Amino acid sequence: MIAIIDYDAGNIKSVEKALVLLGQEVKITRDPKEILSAQKVVLPGVGAFGDAMEKLNQYELVPVIRQVVERNIPFLGICLGLQLLFERSDEAPGVEGLGVLKGEILRIPDGEGLKIPHMGWNSLHLENGGRLFVGLEEGAYVYFVHSYYLKASEPEIVKASTEYSTHIHASVEKGNVFACQFHPEKSSDVGLQILKNFVSI
């Protein structure tokens, strides 16, 4: 069973639908026992960093997520779910992230003729042999919606990056922790392949 952590964040249903399409048994839950007994755990998310951390604390999910990581259960953060794994965000000064990974979330700088948020399809530069990207070609296109981006402190955990006004760390992997800034569940066949790769880990 794959547990999708329910903390009132958007896009949970589309993640569930994509995983069900891949033949997976999926449960949307905030029950610690269910999350910790799952074979895999997904932290989706659309919204603001500060609000999301407030909800994770309110539902007492922060220690549960840390236990998932410690127990080596494969864990996937999507969009805001990637950002929450890090230490801090420009979007919510003074709010501590989960701190599972080292790095910070910065606002995408205004670029000439570029709209913020970064919304739409963009190509990935694949690096450091990420397990989520097995079977995918360099330059594969995926779907983004975000105004803030990751700058990871450990270059070796970055498995995909993209360019939009700045250099964006688009996907990371460290041990059992995986995360994507883009939405695999909205990224057509490429996204399904990424989710399939996660499911097969």
User: What does the alpha-carbon distance between residue 119 and residue 25 come to, in Å, rounded to a whole number?
Assistant: 30
Give the active site residue among 79, 118, 169, 173: 79
Give the active site residue among 118, 146, 169, 183: 183
The answer to whether the beta carbons of residues 83 and 51 sit under 8 Å apart is no
CB under 8 Å to 198, separation ≥6 — which residues?
A: 40, 74, 76, 132, 178
- The answer to whether residue 185 is catalytic is yes
User: What does the alpha-carbon distance between residue 145 and residue 2 come to, in Å, rounded to a whole number?
Assistant: 24
Give the active site residue among 16, 91, 173, 185: 185
Chain centroid to CA 117: 17
CA-derived radius of gyration, the chain: 15
Helix (H) or strand (E) holding 152: strand 148-152
- The answer to whether residue 169 is catalytic is no
- The answer to whether residue 183 is catalytic is yes
Q: Which two tokens stand for residue 41?
A: 């755990």
The answer to whether the beta carbons of residues 21 and 199 sit under 8 Å apart is no
Q: Which two tokens stand for residue 18?
A: 């994509």
The answer to whether the beta carbons of residues 144 and 118 sit under 8 Å apart is yes
Give the residue numbers marked as catalytic: 79, 183, 185
